[in-house]
Amino acid sequence: MGPYHWSGVVGVAKVTIKLSDSLGTYRISDNIVSSKTGLACKYTAGYCIDAYEGMITWDIITDDKCSMNSYLVLYRGRVSKITIKSTDNSQDAYTMYSVKDGKFLAALIERGSKVICGITVIVTDHPKLLIQEVKNGLYYFKQDTLTAKNMDIFLYVNAKFTHIENHMRREISSMYETLVQEQCKTRRSLLQT
């Protein structure tokens, strides 16, 4: 221990803890994560130490559900994205994605979002169909030929019902607005007499 020995001593130290979130880049081909400061780390390690940021950690996705072929791409291309709001704020707004392209017809309503393989996707009213909005032209999952076992009549019927539901919702809302306007006109004419 050396020439000095103390017992019952209280030590004082200053500790600074910084907690932050940031985005990095993951290169699948060589299994490297790059931090915002440019530090390259092995992805499967789950952490590395950056001279500027300190300890950097991330969640490791190890299952095979994130291969480029783990999800079937049914359609890749432009779709109509419509956000529908009620004029009197009596109903919540909702977003509908619809596409009619040759033999492909679908209409799906957004129900939320989740992250799959580090990609944010939109959860729809159809339990097995997800939407990935691509703005930079980079696709992760590969498109393959469609087979009969991957397409079901439920998707087609769901598209028809979604369009009918949307039309009926607009008509009922319009009918309600007309009824309220007529009631106001009747009350106004009664008050004027």
38 domain-assigned: yes
pTM here is 0.46
Q: Which amino acid is at 144?
A: D
Residue 43 belongs to what domain range? Answer: 12-60
Lowest mean pLDDT among 28-37, 100-109, 113-122: 100-109
Collect all residues with Cβ–Cβ distance below 8 Å to 18 and sequence separation of at least 6. 54
Same domain membership, residue 96 and residue 53: no
39 falls within a domain: yes
181 and 99, same domain (yes or no): yes
Q: DSSP 3-state assignment of 83?
A: strand
Please tell me the predicted confidence (pLDDT) of residue 146: 61
**Domain tally, the chain:** 2
For 29-62, write each residue's pLDDT tens digit.
788 889 888 899 998 888 999 888 888 888 887 6
| Residue 127 structure tokens | 């339990």
